[in-house]
Amino acid sequence: MEVTTKGVKGSQLKNMIIKRLYFNKAMSCAGLSELFDKSIPSIAKAINELMHEGFVVEQGYAPSSGGRRPLMYSVKSSAMHILAIALDQLTARIQMFDLLNNPVADMLTFELKLLNNPDALPKLVEEINSYIAHSGISKDKIAGIGIGMPGFINITEGINYTYLDAGGQSLTAYLTSKTGIATYIDNDSSLIALAEQKFGIAKAQQEVMVINLGWGIGLGMIVNGKLFRGHNGFAGELSHIPLSEDGSLCECGKRGCLEAEASLLVVARKAIEGIKKGRVTSLKYNEEDHSKLIGDALLDAANNGDQFAIELLSDAGYKIGKAIAILIHIMNPAIIVLSGRGAKVAKILTAPMQQALHKYCIPRLAAGTELLVSELGFDAELIGAAVLVMENFDRVVKTKAVKAAKSAAA
């Protein structure tokens, strides 16, 4: 399937403006001129062309600061759309957004086991194409597909070394060819960190560690205002910090990893063991249920005061806090954000985390780090997947979108 990936008609500057307005919501010609080191007339010319093409609209005047109020511009939300996909080890979520990150179609959620499942990639392609077809949105109006997923990911080559083998070829190239839409992939925890920095509680922060509390325990690191990936792009494997020498066996083959001791999947399995042993709890389990169902139910039960669920999460929170103490000693971050699926029970987790920090962290270091709970929560990965598309917007954009935007503006 042929895919056109050229910039918006006219100039690279217009692509840069659209991208910046997506992240900043609204800016003036003077602000864009200073940001891009371009003359105000050249910015104004590009803005006028983008307005004519249906990408940009006037937003009104900025609040008065004593002088003449500048006219502000923003992206037109319906000019294009972004298909965001969030994968974990067990489930996929697909959501279509406009350029203001508002959902424009119902979210699709379906089971998609990634580990040792050769059918996972064909299933994903099938669901993506079906979702687009049922959304009623033309592919010409989709700026790109962004996918967050667990695993060791080479974003330059577009390969996930852990899951979704595309027969040795680039996963991004494979998905692009199968959908006809430019596709980008990145590690789920990295995208969650980007979402928190661009649109979340860590907006505009320079030194942030974002903990992805999911079936595993991921880490996205913002260092000097940018996503830190490390030498090979695999930085942030907090899950595999060893907490003990003789702990449970982890999927990585090592013993005592944080993930094997405190991930939500492990907590769910401990809940199942407790139920079988007769622990008093509101949680129910039968042999047909899998760990994900129990895990989701456990979060709700804990928030409703179930003591067994709270006990399990408190134990996990303490162990995560011990790992965070190591992270603080190494990175000395200003902010640590608890995000992802587990943000739903962050109020339960934070007390034992703080207890572990008091025990294991040097007070002077711990005092300089603020522990915050995400406001994006479980939506963070989807928002991050949309951010991924727009991060690439000034480099690769489909020209067909220009025609579609003009048609919508007519």
How big is the chain, counted in residues? Answer: 410
Are 308 and 280 in contact by the 8 Å Cβ rule? The answer is: yes
Pairing of strands 153-154, 159-160: antiparallel
Please give the Cα distance from 82 to 64 (Å, whole number).
Answer: 34
Pairing of strands 335-339, 370-373: parallel
Are 146 and 86 in contact by the 8 Å Cβ rule? The answer is: no
pLDDT at residue 403, as a whole number: 41
Are 390 and 82 in contact by the 8 Å Cβ rule? The answer is: yes
Cβ neighbour number for residue 370 with a 10 Å cutoff: 10
pLDDT at residue 361, as a whole number: 94
Tokens of 234: 């695999």
Are 35 and 21 in contact by the 8 Å Cβ rule? The answer is: no
Domains and CATH numbers, the chain: 12-75 (1.10.10.10), 81-191+385-392 (3.30.420.40), 203-375 (3.30.420.40)
pLDDT at residue 290, as a whole number: 66
Distance from first CA to last CA of the chain, Å, rounded? 29
Please give the Cα distance from 343 to 322 (Å, whole number).
Answer: 18
Give the contacts of 82 (CB within 8 A, at least 6 positions apart). 96, 97, 98, 99, 142, 143, 144, 145, 146, 385, 386, 389, 390
Give the amino acid at 388: L
What is the phi/psi pair of residue 44, to 5°? Answer: -60, -40
Half-sphere exposure of 69 (CA within 13 A, CB side): 9
pLDDT at residue 5, as a whole number: 41
Tokens of 28: 């003036």
Residue 358's H or E segment, with its range, is helix 346-360
Q: Is the dihedral of CA 366, 368, 373, 376 positive or negative?
A: negative
3-state secondary structure of 99: coil
3-state secondary structure of 319: helix
> What residues form DSSP beta bridges with 85?
94, 147
Pairing of strands 81-87, 56-61: unpaired
Are 3 and 181 in contact by the 8 Å Cβ rule? The answer is: yes
Q: What is the DSSP string of 279-316?
A: ---S----TT--HHHHHHHHHHHHHTT-HHHHHHHHHH
pLDDT at residue 293, as a whole number: 81
Cβ neighbour number for residue 130 with a 10 Å cutoff: 12
Please give the Cα distance from 215 to 37 (Å, whole number).
Answer: 45
Please give the Cα distance from 88 to 342 (Å, whole number).
Answer: 13
Residue in 163, 154, 177, 183 with CA at minimum distance from that of residue 83: 183
Residue in 215, 212, 145, 61 with CA at minimum distance from that of residue 388: 145
Give average pLDDT by consecutive 10-residue segment, the chain, 410 residues: 46 90 93 94 94 93 78 94 95 96 96 93 97 94 95 92 90 96 95 95 90 92 91 84 77 80 90 92 78 85 95 96 94 93 93 95 91 94 96 64 43
